[in-house]
Amino acid sequence: MRQRVLTASELDHLKAAYGDGLTMRTYQNYHYRDRTLHVIDGLDCDWLRWKPTLLTELGRLDDDDVIRDVALQLCREKPSKDIAKAIINAAGNAVGKNGRLKRVDIVGGALLLERAL
C-alpha cells in the first residue's frame, strides 16, 4: 500500500477549495500544484504558473530549495513539457549526500547532470 500523501485536514481543505467528489489522485495533484505555487511565490516565474502538469511534478520534489532552483531553471530555459519533466525527474534523483542539488542543465535539448563535489 502506498504512503498516504494527504492528511485528513489537508484533504478537507482541498475539498473545500476544489469541490467534493474528485478522485484522490486529483486531490493529490492539486496538493502538489498548490505546494509548488506557494514555494515559487515571489519568484520571477510567470511562465511556469500556467503549466499545471509541471507544477504538479515539481510539487512531488521533497525539498523547497530544489523546487525553487528547478523552477527558476525551467523559467529561464522554457523547455518543452517532455524536457521539463525529464529535468524535474532528474532533479529528484540528483540530490547529493549533502542534501544539495547537483546541477541540472539542458544543452542542445539534451539533459546533463553535473555532480556536486
In the chain, the N- to C-terminal Cα span, in Å, equals 36
Total domains present in the chain: 1
Report yes or no on 45 lying in a domain. Answer: yes
Statement: residue 23 has pLDDT above 80: yes
Please tell me the predicted confidence (pLDDT) of residue 92: 76
Please tell me the predicted confidence (pLDDT) of residue 62: 83
Please tell me the predicted confidence (pLDDT) of residue 39: 96
pTM: 0.78
Q: Distance between alpha carbon 39 and the CA centroid of its chain, in Å?
A: 10
Report yes or no on 3 lying in a domain. Answer: no
Per-residue pLDDT of 32-83, as tens digits, reads: 999 999 999 999 999 999 999 999 999 998 888 889 988 998 998 898 898 8
Please tell me the predicted confidence (pLDDT) of residue 77: 87
Domain enclosing residue 56, as ranges = 8-114
Radius of gyration of the CA atoms of the chain, in A: 15
